[in-house]
Amino acid sequence: MGYELLSHPADARFRARGPSLDDAFVEAVRAFAAIAEGGEAADSRREVHVESEDREALLFDFLADLVLLQELEGVAVVDAADCTVSTTADGYALDATLLVAPIEEPLFDVKSPTYSEMRVEEGDDGWVLEATLDV
């Protein structure tokens, strides 16, 4: 189903679609990688686990983890091999396997997710995620 980079007056915004919520999160990773202008040749994997109280918070916390991964490990997020969303007693959990590459040229600095006009919605064609990243 894919992703689109949307217009935003100051920052970066994307829409990710998938037949399942898992697939939509995979597309969200690809959108994030496109915004950060990371490399294309992944050479390693990272596992990410996030737990949050609702789906919007799950997307916020997951994007926050992608930002942290890039900054603290010095790698560029390139793609996701797999994302699995499950329910927990307190909300939702997300387990993801990310494909990452060394940072060769400085990345575009994605600094934080925001809740601004965030969407996590199920429609007739599957799931749609929308988020704005502070850049």
Partner 1 sequence: MHLTELTENVHEIAREGEMRVPTRVFASEPLLEKMREEGRTLEQGSNVATLPGIQKYSVVLPDGHLGYGFPIGGVAAVAMDGGVVSPGGIGFDINCGVRVLRTDLDYDDVRGHEQALVDRLYDLVPCGLGRGGYVRTDRDDLEGILAVGMEWMRDAGHARQADLDHCEESGRLPGDPDAVPEDAKRRGVNQVGSLGSGNHFLEVQRVTDLYDAATADAFGLREGQVVVMIHSGSRGLGHQVCQEYIRRFERTYPDLVDSLPDRQLVYAPLGDPVAEDYLGAMYAAANFAWANRQAMTQAVREAVADLFDTDAVDLVYDVCHNVAKEETHTVDGEDVEVLVHRKGATRAFPAGHPDVPEAYRDVGQPVLLPGSMGTHSYVLAGGERSMELTFGSTAHGAGRLKSRTQAKREYTAGDLQQRLRSEGVYVKARSGATVAEEAPGAYKDVDEVVRVSDALGIGTKVARMRPVCNVKG
Roughly how many angstroms between the first and final C-alpha of the chain, as a whole number?
25
Q: Which residues ranging from 77 to 106 are in contact with partner 1 (CB under 8 A)? A: 103, 105-106
Q: Which two tokens stand for residue 6?
A: 């949307």
**Strand 75-88 to 112-113 pairing:** unpaired
Q: Pick one of 118, 120, 129, 131: the residue that binds partner 1 (CB under 8 A).
A: 118
Q: Which of residues 24-43 bind partner 1 (CB under 8 A)?
A: 36-37
Task: Report the C-alpha gap between 117 and 14 in whole angstroms.
Answer: 11
The interface region with partner 1, picked from 22-30, 40-48, 63-71, 78-86 by CB under 8 A, is 63-71
CA angle centred on 31, ends 49 and 121, rounded to 5°: 70
What residue ranges bind partner 1 (CB under 8 A)?
Answer: 5-12, 36-37, 53, 56-57, 60-61, 64, 67-68, 70-72, 74, 103, 105-116, 118, 132, 134-135
